[in-house]
Amino acid sequence: MQEQQTGGVVEWIWPSAFLICAGWCVWHIPAFTLDWFPPENESLFMQVSELHTRKEVLQNMNGLFGGFANIVDYLALVLMPVFAILGMRTLVVAPMEYEEWRGWDRFALFIGRATMIMIVVMTSVMLYEVFMRYVVEAPTKWANELTLWIAGFVFLCSGLYAMQQRCHIRITLVYDIVPRAVRKVFDVISTVLIIVFAAGVVYGSYNQVFINKLYRWEMFGTAFDPPIPATIQPMILIIMCLIALQSLANLIADWNVEPETFIVDEDEIEAIRKSVGAD
């Protein structure tokens, strides 16, 4: 177990930088797709290139090597894993987090930090929209869709963090009363089911998600028109795979850890009985 302490400001710099690079790369996925895996269908190629040209942030910057992705796109792509590694190396586990964490849990913990920052960004966007709508009376066309987009990533990434923290919902009525050896069998069965479920969903949805949504760069169809279907659906499959891997890591890490024991407080039970009028 690692020593616990309160993290400083530096711990939050790297997740913020990672999110900036990740957001830039996600917005410019069509540039990488057109350069690396250009559609053979000419109409699809024209459709995706038109979407990219219309949504390109740096309209006047030429792409590298005669392609669509410019130097800023490649710089963000290279720096994204660099910031992730730096963030994992400087990560400090808070006192309220799971104590028995291992080295391989750093990625899930880092994603948890990035998710917390996304919540702050999402809240800030909502507050900005409230100010613009009710104070300035000039509502934006992008705040609502951007909030939905970020909320989708927050919901998905929170699942990975919850799995690492062992704070997902579990029904332990039978689990708590059986011996430790039987609990290990239950743990193996649940982990296998998670892995099989994730593999089945990925196998059954791969073409629909990555070919029909991501590759075609399906947009949301609003004034802001963000690529929510093209990004959220692939993220679902990616997070499911990461959760399956994390569940396997949890199984290995918890194999010899003594299970939690819960002591019934008779005085508290008696107080509850009196409060509800039970005899």
User: What per-residue confidence (pLDDT) applies to 171?
Assistant: 80
Residue 3 has pLDDT above 50, yes or no: no
Residue 192 has pLDDT above 80, yes or no: yes
Residue 56 lies inside a defined structural domain of this protein: yes
pLDDT in tens, 99-153: 888 888 999 999 999 999 999 999 999 999 999 999 998 999 999 999 999 999 9
Residue 151 lies inside a defined structural domain of this protein: no
pLDDT in tens, 23-49: 999 999 999 999 999 998 899 999 999
Q: Which domain holds residue 35?
A: 1-96
Check if the beta carbon of residue 19 is closer than 8 Å to that of residue 117.
yes
Model confidence at 1, in pLDDT bands (50, 70, 90)?
very low
Residue 268 lies inside a defined structural domain of this protein: no
- Secondary structure (DSSP) of 151-213: HHHHHHHHHHHHHHHT-S----TTGGGS-HHHHHHHHHHHHHHHHHHHHHHHHHHHIIIIIII
User: What per-residue confidence (pLDDT) applies to 167?
Assistant: 87
Tell the residue number behind the tokens 């000039």, with chain if given. Answer: 138
Residue 222 lies inside a defined structural domain of this protein: no
Residue 217 lies inside a defined structural domain of this protein: no
Residue 103 DSSP symbol: G
Residue 65 DSSP symbol: G
- Give me the half-sphere count of Cα atoms (radius 13 Å) on the Cβ side of residue 115: 19
C-alpha closest to that of 187 among 226, 179, 97: 179
Percent of the chain scoring above 70 in pLDDT: 94
Residue 214 DSSP symbol: I
State the chain's mean pLDDT as an integer.
89
User: What per-residue confidence (pLDDT) applies to 129?
Assistant: 95
Residue 3 lies inside a defined structural domain of this protein: yes
256: burial class by Cβ within 10 Å (0-12, 13-18, 19+)?
exposed
3-state helix/strand/coil string of 231-259: HHHHHHHHHHHHHHHHHHHHHHHCCCCCC
Model confidence at 257, in pLDDT bands (50, 70, 90)?
confident
Q: How many secondary structure helices (H) and strands (E) does the chain include?
A: 9, 0
The number of residues making up the chain comes to: 279
User: What per-residue confidence (pLDDT) applies to 6?
Assistant: 57
Residue 184 lies inside a defined structural domain of this protein: no
Residue type, 266: E
User: What per-residue confidence (pLDDT) applies to 263?
Assistant: 59
Residue 72 lies inside a defined structural domain of this protein: yes
* CA triple 260-264-266, angle to 5 deg: 165
Number of domains, the chain: 1
